[in-house]
């Protein structure tokens, strides 16, 4: 290999490294900037607040990482989460129902709703985007019918603990987030199911020929997403001690942005749960930093929109670079 080829490879190699680790690099850059610009960023209370803030998005982010890796999408997650929260509030009104039963019922509802989305898309060969967009409105209408448009208080103590409890000095939602990250990473790297998800997302026809049931895999992925949505619904409701009709309704784009920033392409075929954690940290750092700097919430919306746009551009740009390197080899 001549010198110019070596230089070209070296530049591409460095660029690929930055693109693959963009979420970690962004976390380091934002952390450094916030450490310099505000004296309260590195305090224990603020760091714990940041960890609690990202925990809910991270839990759903694990499910979304699997979903995007399988080359699918779900726009109904926010209102599914709201609906499950309302269901947990209604169940809490009956003191005879224990927390474990509420937890199981909510998880089953989440799994059934998620798998139903994928089943409809598979059965009628419809784009998941359109199916989940329609289901978003169904979930939204259902939660309003169940709650009559009003928040529900008096939640079960177990739900409150999920959102506000501590295990020693560490908030329970943070521990829950760590557990989901570990399980998600194991699914991707150590199980046949994880390999099937990657195969389905990369080339569904080749996966089908190799004996993988593409519809079944996508239904299972959507069911797992529903489980993460249900757990997040309970954590979010517990955090504010009530089931809100708007809680989580606008979280979908934040989570998709975090997953893509973390290194999971929207076109499927690969995924990284640890990257999703850093992607959620990027989103959380921006909100946390703007709050510390007392920037208007309207500017926070603008900044998140910019991040989503940049994430999509980086995703497309990364794929072009990888394709160019494959063709060159």
Q: Is 207 exposed, middle or buried (0-12, 13-18, 19+ CB in 10 A)?
A: buried
Residues 67-77 pLDDT 10s: 999 999 999 99
Percent of the chain scoring above 70 in pLDDT: 91
Average pLDDT of the segment spanning 52-73: 94
Residues 158-214 pLDDT 10s: 999 999 999 988 999 999 999 999 999 999 889 999 999 999 999 999 999 999 999
149 φψ region: left (φ > 0), alpha (ψ -120 to 50), beta (else): left
Question: Would the pLDDT of 246 be above 90?
Answer: no
Dihedral of alpha carbons 180, 230, 251, 92, sign: negative
Query: Residue 5: what pLDDT?
Result: 46
**Complete domains list, the chain, with CATH:** 18-319 (1.10.3470)
Question: Would the pLDDT of 216 be above 80?
Answer: yes
Most confident of 11-25, 29-43, 129-143: 129-143
- Give this prediction's pTM: 0.90
Confidence of residue 11 (pLDDT cuts 50, 70, 90): low
């Amino acid at each position: 290999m001549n010198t110019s080829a070596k230089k070209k490879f070296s530049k591409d190699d460095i660029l690929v490294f930055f693109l693959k680790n963009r979420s970690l690099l962004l976390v380091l850059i934002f952390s450094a900037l916030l450490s310099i610009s505000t004296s309260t960023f590195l305090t224990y209370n603020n760091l714990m607040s940041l960890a609690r803030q990202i925990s809910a998005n991270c839990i759903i982010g694990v499910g979304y990482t699997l979903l995007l890796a399988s080359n699918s999408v779900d726009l109904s997650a926010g209102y599914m989460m709201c609906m499950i929260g309302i269901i947990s509030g209604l169940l809490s009104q009956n003191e005879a129902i224990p927390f474990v039963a509420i937890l199981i019922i909510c998880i089953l509802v989440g799994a059934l709703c998620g798998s139903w989305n994928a089943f409809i898309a598979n059965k009628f060969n419809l784009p998941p985007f359109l199916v989940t967009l329609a289901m978003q409105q169904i979930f939204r209408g259902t939660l309003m019918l169940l709650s009559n448009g009003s928040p529900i208080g008096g939640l079960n103590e177990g739900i409150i603990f999920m959102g506000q409890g501590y295990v020693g000095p560490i908030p329970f939602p943070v521990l829950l987030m760590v557990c989901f990250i570990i399980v998600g990473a194991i699914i991707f790297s150590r199980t046949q199911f994880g390999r099937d998800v990657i195969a389905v997302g990369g080339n569904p026809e080749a996966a089908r020929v190799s004996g993988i049931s593409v519809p079944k895999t996508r239904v299972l992925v959507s069911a797992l997403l529903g489980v993460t949505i249900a757990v997040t619904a309970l954590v979010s409701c517990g955090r504010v001690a009530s089931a809100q009709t708007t809680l989580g309704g606008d979280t979908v784009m934040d989570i998709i942005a975090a997953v893509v920033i973390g290194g999971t392409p929207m076109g499927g075929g690969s995924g990284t749960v640890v990257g999703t954690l850093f992607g959620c940290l990027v989103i959380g750092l921006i909100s946390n930093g703007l709050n510390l700097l007392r920037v208007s919430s309207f500017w926070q919306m603008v900044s998140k929109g910019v991040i989503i746009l940049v994430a999509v551009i980086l995703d497309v740009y990364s794929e072009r670079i990888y394709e160019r390197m494959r063709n060159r080899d």
